[in-house]
Every structure is written in structure tokens, then in C-alpha cells.
Structure 1
Amino acid sequence: MTSPTPPAEPTYADRTYRSPAGLVGGVLLLLLVGWIGGDAVFRGSGRTPWLALAGLVTVVPLIVAFMLRPAVFANDRRIRIRNPFRTITVPWTAVANVRAGYSSELFTQDGTKFQLWAVPVSLRQRKKAARQKPPKAQDDRHGRRSVQADVRNANARMGEADQTVRDLREMAEGAGDGGADGAGAVVVRWAYELIAPAVAGAVALVVLFAVG
């Protein structure tokens, strides 16, 4: 007699938060660096091709790390923060607070702070949103205010990063109220696939300059 197959663990769709400006800037910077560095590698003379190659090995992983890699993935169970050199997975029940000051930050129950690189805070955008005149709430004939209008009023006075942080905070509070099973420990994984080539390229640059 075969044992019954255990039910599959339910999957939860992730909400993804990234910086569009960072993605566009990263792609353009990669194209520029690739064009300049590639030209030096194939057309340079003497030590120039080697210096250009070592520079590319150093710079390209850094551009990917700081501009293309950052992202935040959140579902009903946990939040996964992909920063330049680390990926931090935190169950919602281990989250104490999510806030946006001069940067977006997550605090765990033990007081550890993690910065959300994918949710940059723009003080200029925040001030612009605060200056916007919120849409006038419409009352019905019974004198009740429109819920949709209240939501629009709140969103009109918030910057993009503040809205994202508010969404994440609501997800954390929902998990804390028993809305999700988020038991587990905080897991941190280093992005050695980016750290190793950047360090190797930097070492090669130092050696090339030293022997030159």
C-alpha cells in the first residue's frame, strides 16, 4: 500500500518593486562602458588592452550590483530584499517596522536594520507630492464621504517610495494579525558571483599599475 502524497505547499505570487530610473541608467551605463572598454581592448596597444579588460571586469559587476540587481519581492509570507551584494529573506512575523526617512529601511524584531536599495527616497518627489492639491472628496446625498476619494487624497500627498513602504508595512501588519504564515528565520546570502569578479578585476588593476 502506497502512502498518500502530501499536498503541495501553496505558492504565493510576489509583488516586485524596482527602480525604473536605476534600470534605465544601468543599461545605458553598461552600453557606454562596454563601448569605451571594448574599443580599448581591441584597438589599444601596449598595456592598454589589459588595463581596459581589468577595468571592465571590475566595473561591470559593480554597475550590475548597484543599478540592475536591487529589487524587493514580497508576498503574503515573507519579503525578499535583493541589495547590491546581499539577498535578505525575512518572514513577515520577524519584521518590526518598515519606514522611509532619507532612505527606505526594514527593521527586524531583534533590531537589525536592512536598507531597501530598490526603493530609493526622493525628497524632491516627496515635496512635489506634498504640494499637490488633493482631489476634492465627493459626498453623496446622505452626507457620506466617498471612500475612493479618501484613498486618492492620501495617495496624492505621498511620494512613490512612501507609497511602496506603506504597502509593505500593511503586508507586515497583516501577517502579524494572523493573515499569513510567516514563521522562519532571517536568511542572508552574499552575491559572490558579483563580488568575486569585481575583486579580481581590482587586484589585476593594482598589479598592472604596480608593474608598469
Structure 2
Amino acid sequence: MKQVFRSNLAMIVGWLWMVFAAYNAVDLVVRYNGRPSMVAAAVLGVLTALVFVTCLRPVIVMSEEGVLVRNPLRNAFVPWSGVDEVTVSHSITITSGGRSVRCWAPQTSARERAAAARKGRPAPARGRFRTEPVRSKAEQAADEAMAGKTHADWVAEQITERAEAAQRTASVAGTAAVPETETENGTGTAAVTENGTGNGAAAVTGSETGTENGSETGTGNDGLKVTWAPSALVALVLALALVVAAFVA
């Protein structure tokens, strides 16, 4: 199941700016008057690129394979087997193999943290004849789940739970596969006795080498992978091209 988490406020601000920028871009094309229009287009392009990379790009995507973190300029992917720790301060930090990635969104402000702490406190006792609105079971469950937590705290919990579940499943699958392998190949002692010392040693060496290579390959594939984001680089290059065009015009 694919889950996407981002800052709703940043997304709203980002799309509002995109609509504003599109309207002004059309206006600049229709009323083009040389250098002033190019300077305005350069300013508009730089601001639009900044809004795109800081408001629309940052997101956390959880899939069956792992968690993808899209930050302003880079993408980071961590498979579930490689997630070592997830912590939250003002932002979510995912640690994998001694390396870590800090998620740009969602983030937690001091005001949101204080509001969550107040929400997590028990409700004050009401008077005998005072009434309160009746909430549905779904509303009560949602309030209980988010009591004392910010959005970032809840997202970090979702990442931790899915990583632990995937690692437990992989561990159980690996444990179940071991007896079958031993049954097919027989015990190590029997193999050495029947095939001779040289063949037995070669078999043991081969199995050890395969185990080491498999573990090394797994460690390399299961670690944190960070790459540059093509869409962010394209947006910045286009903005830079508009700035250069404004100076040349």
C-alpha cells in the first residue's frame, strides 16, 4: 500500500503561487516590452523555482519496497530492511547504516508541539449539568491516536511500524528457508566424508563465500541511497536561464 505524507499548508501555498505565476507569465508574453519584461520574467522564474523545490517537491512516500524521501534538491530511498531508527525533533530523521536523512516535510513547529501537548492532557472535569457534543467512534479513535502527537510524530510512527513489520516478515522467511537448505544439501560432516576432504573443503569454502557475498550485497542494497532530483535541477536551470536572458537582453 502506497502512502504519501507532505505539508498541507506548503502544498496549498505552492499551488496558489503556481496559478499566480502562470497568470503573470501569460501577461508578460502578451504585453512584452523588451528588457523590463525580461527582468520581471527572471524574477518570476526564480521565485517559482524556489517555491517548487521548497513547497511542492518535499514529500515522504511509503511503498511496499521502502520509504522515499523527496527533499528540495535530492531524493533519498531506504528499503524497509535498511531502516535502523526514526527520530523526530522539528523534522523527521531516518537513520540507515550509520547514515541519516532529514525529511524536509512534514515538520513540527514549536507552536504545533505545544498545541499537541495541551491536547494530550486529560480533559477537565465538567459540572453535573453541563453537556458536551457527542462524537462518533471514528472521531474518538482519531483523537486518541493523535493525542499529544504532532503530524510529524504520527508519520514517524507509521514509518517505524512498517519497517518493523517488514523486517519481522523477512526474518521469519529467512528462518523458514534454512531447514529446507540443510535438508537438501545434508549436514556438513556427511558431505565432507562422502566427497573427500578436498571436495568438502571446497564446498564449505564455496558456501562461506556465498554467505559473505550475499550478506555484503544485502548490506549494500539495503542501505540509504541519495540521488539528485532531476525535476529540481531542471527548475533551477530554467530560472538561471531566465536570469541570464534578462542580463543579455
Query: Given the two structures, how large is their TM-score scaled by the length of structure 1?
Result: 0.73
Structure number, greater radius of gyration: 2
Describe the SS at the equivalent of 1:158. Answer: coil
Note if 1:201 corresponds to 2:239.
Answer: yes
Map residues 10-159 of structure 1 onto 2, 5 A cutoff. Answer: 13-110=1-98, 112-132=99-119, 133-134=121-122, 153=144, 155-159=146-150
Secondary structure of the residue aligned to 1:105 is: strand
The Cα shift of 1:154 comes to 5.8
* Contact 2:41 2:242 (C-alpha < 8 Å) held by counterparts: no
Provide the C-alpha distance between the structure 2 equivalents of 1:201 and 1:101, rounded to a whole number of angstroms.
Answer: 33
Matches within 5 A, 1:171-190: 171-178=162-169, 184-185=221-222, 186-190=224-228
How big is the shift at 1:80? Answer: 1.1
CA distance in 2, matches of 1:153, 1:208: 55
The 1:129/1:188 distance shift into structure 2, 3 A limit, reads same
| RCO higher in structure (CA 8 A, sep ≥6) | 2
Residues 168 and 50 from structure 1, CA distance in 2 versus in 1: closer, same or farther, beyond 3 angstroms? same
Deviations 1:61-111 (A, max 9, x none): 33222111222111343111122222211112212211110221111122x
- Note the alpha carbon deviations across 1:115-150, whole angstroms, 9 max, x for none: 2123111321221111123479xxxxxxxxxxxx89
Q: Which runs of 5+ in 1 are unaligned?
A: 1-12, 137-148
**TM-score (structure 2 length as normaliser):** 0.63
Structure 2 unpaired stretches of 5+: 125-139, 174-217
Asked if the contact 2:49/2:239 (under 8 Å) is kept, the reply is: no
Output the CA distance in 1 between the equivalents of 2:239 and 2:32.
Answer: 18
Distance in 1 separating the partners of 2:141 and 2:123: 9
Please give the alpha-carbon distance, in whole angstroms, between the structure 1 residues aligned to 2:111 and 2:94: 22
Give the match's secondary structure for 1:16.
strand
Change over 3 Å in CA distance of 1:191–1:154 after alignment to 2: closer
For residue 166 of structure 1, the aligned residue among 157, 161, 166 is 157
Asked if the contact 1:134/1:152 (under 8 Å) is kept, the reply is: no
Q: Which amino acid counterpart does residue 15 of structure 1 have in structure 2?
A: Q
1: CA distance between counterparts of 2:94 and 2:71? 12
Quick check: 157-166 or 114-123, which moved more?
Answer: 114-123
**CA distance, structure 1, for counterparts of residue 147 and residue 72 of structure 2:** 31
Aligned-pair CA distance for 1:207: 5.8
In structure 1, what residue type is equivalent to 2:234? A
Query: How many correspondences in the alignment?
Result: 185
Q: CA RMSD in A?
A: 2.9
Q: Structure 1: how far apart are the matches of 2:88 and 2:12?
A: 23
Distance 1:76 1:134 in 2: 37
Identity score, percent: 27
